[in-house]
Amino acid sequence: GIKIVTIGGGSSYTPELMEGFIKRYESLPLSEIWLVDIPEGKEKLETVGKMAQRMWDASPYDVTVHLSLDRREALKDADFVTTQFRVGLLDARIKDERIPLSHGFLGQETNGPGGIFKALRTIPVLLDIVEDMKELCPNAWLINFTNPSGMVTDAIVRYGKWEKVLGLCNVPVNSLINEPEMLNVGEGELTHHFAGLNHFHWHRVKDANGHDVTDQLNKQLVEDASSLPSNIFDVPFFEEQLQQMQLIPCGYHRYYYRAEEMLEHALKEYNDPEIGTRAEQVRQTEKELFELYKDEHLDHKPEQLSQRGGTHYSDVACETIASIASNKNTHVVVSTVNKGAVPDLAPDDVVEVSAYINATGAQPIAFGSLHPAERGWLQVMKNMELCVEEAAVTGDYGLLLQAFIINPLIQSGESAKQVMNELLIAHKAYLPQF
């Protein structure tokens, strides 16, 4: 049978992952699941681990969930390693969001200064994990969810020299699920085609007759934002811009296309002690979820988990793993090496693209060149990512400053440097490279 190891197993998202594996058990027979965490996460791991075992016990399948604080013990002979950890836990995310906001900058834990620092904390840990995998499970696939998912996947290939990795995100799958419903057509009738970067992709859609329905969907998406992940405030896109680009932007593009309004909303929540930043809101949701997980009668994923922005991530994770394991050639949107699919970026850059997934990994589908407006954004964002990754490996202060200056969500100047310095101090314990 297949052995799965999940690093960051104490995450409140784990029951969703279990549900995904239980649903697909007939096509993906697992024998062992190992949930790995660190001493700080021990209590979470035990609570969610027992919950995970109850879910399997309530299913027709005989699967044991092993809990471990010893990553190396767990990794031995793994077939798939999934990563969903948060270095520094939610306290670190609170700092990522609050420190920038205290200077009038958007925090944003994946795209803004927060995301840059999340990458700096995460990349060294992932590179260690890869070294362990080379020794203990050299044939395994690494399925990464840890954010910023695109940047860290790129760093795993570029600096870890590990090619059997796919970076995942739930944002594209939300479109794949919702758009057929929006057009009242059956699942599988539409052809979706994605390209860009994680939390910075665009897509186009064709119907069963090959007609482009992108415009029609964009018009509906401006009216109805129900497919937007719950962590993103809905400022509608400018219709004239959508009409011009002939692509559907991802939810996160709001941070760039309507930066003023997104910052205004984030500041309003930050300044209201009753609301707080998203991280503080999530802390409350997480508390409630763990209370539920402690209930020994609960043996299925609770409804409340869908309040988290990452809902549906297990559909992507489990589908990807099942497609590799049974050479299915399913269409999944993944962060993977470009190989020319997006000619506006280098062939060895990791991009987020539509790909067919089989036993060899991802076969990216050619998207073709973007128009100047999107190409400009994309090249800025990718090169910003490359600066962050290199700074994460080398601890080069000047290069990190370059990334801050390039990042479109950060207005350059003294305040930006101040935010960067404060974040370096706040996260010192998790930044061995600086």
Distance CA 335, CA 108 (A): 20
Can residue 233 be called a binding residue for Mn ion (CB under 5 A)? yes
The one among 308, 331, 382, 427 contacting ligand G6P by CB under 6 A: 308
Can residue 123 be called a binding residue for Mn ion (CB under 5 A)? no
**In terms of Cα–Cα distance, which of 430, 387, 433, 431 is closest to 407?**
387
Helices 397-406 + 414-426 axis angle, to 10: 130
Can residue 14 be called a binding residue for ligand G6P (CB under 6 A)? no
The listed partner (ligand NAD, ligand G6P, Mn ion, none) that binds 233, CB under 5 to 8 Å by sort, is Mn ion
Distance CA 224, CA 221 (A): 5
The listed partner (ligand G6P, Mn ion, ligand NAD, none) that binds 231, CB under 5 to 8 Å by sort, is ligand G6P
**Contact letters for ligand NAD, residues 40-69 (x by CB under 6 A):** xx--x-------------------------
Residue with tokens 């969610």: 48
Nearest CB to ligand G6P, comparing residues 12 and 53: 12
Separation in Å, CA 208 to CA 40, 121, 182, 246, 371:
51, 45, 15, 19, 26
Instruction: Give the footprint of ligand G6P on residues 211-240 (CB under 6 A).
Output: 229, 231
Can residue 168 be called a binding residue for ligand NAD (CB under 6 A)? yes
Write out the DSSP string of 351-410: EEEEEEEETTEEEEPP--PPPHHHHHHHHHHHHHHHHHHHHHHH--HHHHHHHHHH-TTS
Separation in Å, CA 167 to CA 139, 215, 379:
17, 28, 19
Q: Give the interface segment with ligand NAD, choosing from 163-171, 184-192, 213-221, 381-389 (CB under 6 A).
A: 163-171
Q: Which is it for strands 141-144 and 80-83: parallel, antiparallel or unpaired?
A: parallel
| Strand, helix or coil for residue 129 | helix
The one among 90, 359, 366, 425 contacting ligand NAD by CB under 6 A: 90
Nearest CB to ligand NAD, comparing residues 68 and 191: 68
Alpha helices in 159-209 (DSSP H): 171-182
Q: Give the interface segment with Mn ion, choosing from 43-51, 168-176, 251-259, 345-353 (CB under 5 A).
A: 168-176
Residue with tokens 């190891």: 5
Catalytic residue, chosen from 252, 257, 270, 293, is 252
Can residue 302 be called a binding residue for ligand G6P (CB under 6 A)? no
The one among 3, 4, 6, 12 contacting ligand NAD by CB under 6 A: 12
Can residue 221 be called a binding residue for Mn ion (CB under 5 A)? no
Distance CA 116, CA 105 (A): 13
Instruction: Give the footprint of ligand NAD on residues 302-361 (CB under 6 A).
Output: 310, 313
Strand partners, 331: 356
The listed partner (Mn ion, ligand G6P, ligand NAD, none) that binds 335, CB under 5 to 8 Å by sort, is none
In the bound complex, what is the minimum distance in angstroms from residue 269's beta carbon to ligand G6P?
12
Q: Which is it for strands 141-144 and 200-206: parallel, antiparallel or unpaired?
A: unpaired
Separation in Å, CA 125 to CA 174, 349, 357, 399:
29, 21, 26, 20
In the bound complex, what is the minimum distance in angstroms from residue 278's beta carbon to ligand NAD?
11
**CB 196, CB 342: distance < 8 Å:** yes
Instruction: Give the footprint of ligand G6P on residues 100-139 (CB under 6 A).
Output: 110
Q: Give the interface segment with Mn ion, choosing from 7-15, 164-172, 249-257, 341-349 (CB under 5 A).
A: 164-172
* Catalytic site includes residue 252: yes
In the bound complex, what is the minimum distance in angstroms from residue 343's beta carbon to ligand NAD?
26
The listed partner (ligand G6P, ligand NAD, Mn ion, none) that binds 204, CB under 5 to 8 Å by sort, is none
**Residues with active-site annotation:** 252
Residues near ligand G6P (CB under 6 A) are 110, 147, 169-171, 229, 231, 278, 282, 308-310
